[in-house]
């Protein structure tokens, strides 16, 4: 993922993902959207979300694929994050999803449960799709209950994006192993000396809270639900509310006013937690001096981090599983595809592509250096499993945390509301 869809994602989550879950999904229907062409050719529909730069790059990759496989044609379909999933749910309900589509860990169990996703192990065994050469075991991100439901097209990890100039003026240099106490002391020092909020709003980021839980031997999700209790969440949100009121964390109303521009780029705060490859967003928004800093820890060592990824999946309804698998194999292994895509969807997933692409701009160089540093420090673990309904739970976490931080809901009531909505999402 990168900045263009992160804006759409935030819009969708704030709008309340629970409404999306109400759309009934059925495995019934036939087709798969592919059609036979003349001369024995087949057509595959390939759908993804993202901005125009991603669309341009993927279309270049499609042209290369069609040159190598002249009897397979790819019909592109793309939109922003929110519109993609709204459309996809309708297509899946009608039994006509795209043959190959972009996916993410939060949706694997949800759509497997509804019979939408193909288990790719059959195509791997048939030799149409290879899992060889994936870096740091990231191929496991697409595995659920023994099935291979997605193939990663990139990898990223959580980071703290900082305003280098402000941190330097404040005399703060984050290093691996710093603690949460040291992080919050740094934010207070920035507020006192630089007269700016230290953070844009850490407490509503589900993936960051997951890291904090992992540092404490728990996790946000289990295979079937939440991996923590109300008593775990209460102090996390109480702390966030307290820091908003003290001015250490940016006023959420001001954050909303500058959206879709980030509060960090708008000069409202000095740091923000997000996925490392999202950091290209800030340069695009005109911020001149962005850096990537390590995640704070509880014990001075364990960050709880893991590599997340965007993936490609195949519909169970496709008429052309072999050709769809060959397309995915090409998209994740071909070196020229790596050169074209760069780090648009995260650090390239396979050795062939990673070695073929050398970033030329400072921000992508910084992303590569950050992930290499995380690997060297040995902080990267395995991703936490996500249950069916995880996307709705994530939406609820962000939305309810936002209401709580603005004083619309008391902390205890907000926590109960979140657990009730999450429970309903998992039961859907």
Locate 409 and state its tokens. Answer: 């809901």
Higher pLDDT residue, 63 or 22? 63
Q: What is the mean pLDDT of residues 369-391?
A: 94
CATH number of 3-156+317-357: 3.40.190.10
H/E element, 374: helix 362-377
Q: What is the mean pLDDT of residues 58-70?
A: 98
Task: Report pLDDT digits (tens) over 72-119.
Answer: 999 999 999 989 999 999 999 999 999 999 999 999 999 999 999 999
> What is the spatial distance between Cα 140 and Cα 217, in angstroms, rounded to a whole number?
21
Residue 9 has pLDDT above 70, yes or no: no
Locate 168 and state its tokens. Answer: 């330097």
pLDDT of residue 286: 87
**What phi, psi does 307 have (nearest 5°)?**
-90, 120
Residue 378 has pLDDT above 50, yes or no: yes
Residue 30 has pLDDT above 50, yes or no: no
How deeply is 239 buried, as exposed, middle or buried, from its count of CB atoms within 10 A (0-12, 13-18, 19+)? middle
Mean residue pLDDT of the chain comes to 91
Task: Report pLDDT digits (tens) over 253-288.
Answer: 999 999 989 999 999 999 999 999 988 889 889 888
pLDDT of residue 296: 98
User: Which own/partner pairs from 82-88 qualify as long-range (CB within 8 Å, at least 24 positions apart)?
Assistant: 82/8, 82/9, 82/11, 82/12, 82/15, 83/8, 83/49, 84/47, 84/48, 84/49, 85/12, 85/20, 85/49, 85/391, 86/20, 88/47
Asked if 148 and 120 count as a contact pair (C-beta separation under 8 A), the reply is yes
User: Of 106, 114, 163, 122, nearest to 325 (Cα)?
Assistant: 122
pLDDT of residue 39: 62
pLDDT of residue 222: 95
Q: How many residues does the chain have?
A: 428
pLDDT of residue 206: 97
CATH number of 158-305+385-427: 3.40.190.10
Q: What is the 3-state secondary structure (H, E, C) of 26-87?
A: CCCCCCCCCEECHHHCEEEEEEEECCHHHHHHHHHHHHHHHHHCCCEEEEEEEECHHHHHHH
Task: Report pLDDT digits (tens) over 37-47.
Answer: 446 899 999 99
Question: Would you list the domain boundaries of the chain?
Answer: 3-156+317-357, 158-305+385-427
> What is the spatial distance between Cα 309 and Cα 104, in angstroms, rounded to a whole number?
7
* Whether the domain at 3-156+317-357 and the domain at 158-305+385-427 fall into the same CATH topology: yes
Locate 266 and state its tokens. Answer: 């708008």
Task: Report pLDDT digits (tens) over 294-351.
Answer: 999 999 999 999 999 999 999 999 999 999 999 999 999 999 999 999 999 999 999 9
pLDDT of residue 384: 86
pLDDT of residue 363: 87
Residue 31 has pLDDT above 60, yes or no: no
> What is the spatial distance between Cα 340 and Cα 359, in angstroms, rounded to a whole number?
11
């Amino acid at each position: 993922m990168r900045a263009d869809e992160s804006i759409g994602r935030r819009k969708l989550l704030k709008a309340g993902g629970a409404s999306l879950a109400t759309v009934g999904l059925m495995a019934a229907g036939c087709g798969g959207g592919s059609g036979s062409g003349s001369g024995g050719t087949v057509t595959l529909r390939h759908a993804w979300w993202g901005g125009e730069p991603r669309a341009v790059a993927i279309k270049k990759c499609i042209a290369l694929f069609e040159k190598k496989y002249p009897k397979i044609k790819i019909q592109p379909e793309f939109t922003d994050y929110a519109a993609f999933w709204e459309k996809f749910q309708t297509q899946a309900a009608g039994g006509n999803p795209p043959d190959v589509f972009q996916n993410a860990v939060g949706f694997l169990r949800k759509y497997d449960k509804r019979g939408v996703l193909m288990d790719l192990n059959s195509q791997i065994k048939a030799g149409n799709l290879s899992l060889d050469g994936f870096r740091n075991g990231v191929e496991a991100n697409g595995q659920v209950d023994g099935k291979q439901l997605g193939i990663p097209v990139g990898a990223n990890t959580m980071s703290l994006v900082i305003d280098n100039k402000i941190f330097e003026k404040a005399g703060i240099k984050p290093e691996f192993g710093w603690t949460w106490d040291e992080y919050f002391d740094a934010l207070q020092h920035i507020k006192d000396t630089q007269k700016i909020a230290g953070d844009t709003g850490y407490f509503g980021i589900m993936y960051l809270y997951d890291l904090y839980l992992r540092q404490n031997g728990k996790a946000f999700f289990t295979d079937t639900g939440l991996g923590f209790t109300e008593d775990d969440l209460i102090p996390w949100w109480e702390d966030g509310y307290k820091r908003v009121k003290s001015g250490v964390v940016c006023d959420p109303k001001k954050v909303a006013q500058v959206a879709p521009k980030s509060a960090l780029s708008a000069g409202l705060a000095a740091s923000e937690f997000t996925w490392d490859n999202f950091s290209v967003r800030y340069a695009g928004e005109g911020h001149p001096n962005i850096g990537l800093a390590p995640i704070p820890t509880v014990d001075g060592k364990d960050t709880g981090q893991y590599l997340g990824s965007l993936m490609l999946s195949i519909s169970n309804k496709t008429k052309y599983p072999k050709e769809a698998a060959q397309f995915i194999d090409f998209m994740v292994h071909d070196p020229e595809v790596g050169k074209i895509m760069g780090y648009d969807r995260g650090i390239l997933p396979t050795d062939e592509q990673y070695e073929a692409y050398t970033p030329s701009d400072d921000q992508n160089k910084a992303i590569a250096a950050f992930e290499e540093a995380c690997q060297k420090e040995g902080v990267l673990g395995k991703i936490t499993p996500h249950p069916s309904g995880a996307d709705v739970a994530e939406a609820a976490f962000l939305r309810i945390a936002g209401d709580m931080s603005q004083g619309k809901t008391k902390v205890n009531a907000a926590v109960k509301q979140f657990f009730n909505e999450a429970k309903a999402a998992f039961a859907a």
